[in-house]
Amino acid sequence: MEDGLSDEQCSEQLEPAHLELLQLCEQKCEQQELACVRGKQVDQYLLRWQMLLSAHSMQLSELITLLDQEAAIEICKMLLFVLQVAVAEARLYTSLTSPIIQHSQCCSDPKTNSSPDADPGNTSLTLKESKNELTN
């Protein structure tokens, strides 16, 4: 054989270079396809996402408004219930304390202290006073 490379040696050296060249060609084709597709499809893709995001934002806003209204109604109902319970408790408290207040007012009034109906303890004093007056 001459000083040149054999066919096998040539093909062994050319094969990796050929594979690398094929990969570069594929990558370049993919980049060109993406560049063409990217211009139109990216705009459409982004527009679709923008519309979807806007629709979801509107739906979320409506849902928040609805939930706020329902919460306000529930708060009003709860407030009304609490007020009704407070009024009922105040009436009960008033009805329970009214006789005590009347009794304490009656006992502290000097005019009613001397009457026999005011206090049983005072009645005995009144009877003693009456006996003393009779004996004198």
Query: With 0-12 CB in 10 A as exposed, 13-18 as middle and 19+ as buried, what is 118?
Result: middle
Q: How confident is the model at residue 124 (pLDDT cuts 50, 70, 90)?
A: very low
**Closest to 123 in 3D by CA, of 132, 114, 112, 131:** 114
Ranked by mean pLDDT, the top range of 29-38, 57-66, 104-113, 116-125 is: 57-66
pLDDT attached to residue 136: 56
> pTM for the complete prediction?
0.41
Rounded distance between C-alpha atoms, residue 61 and residue 70, angstroms: 14
Mean pLDDT over 17-32 rounds to 86
Each residue of 56-109: pLDDT tens digit? Answer: 999 999 999 999 999 999 999 999 999 999 999 999 988 888 777 777 777 765
Rounded distance between C-alpha atoms, residue 120 and residue 109, angstroms: 15
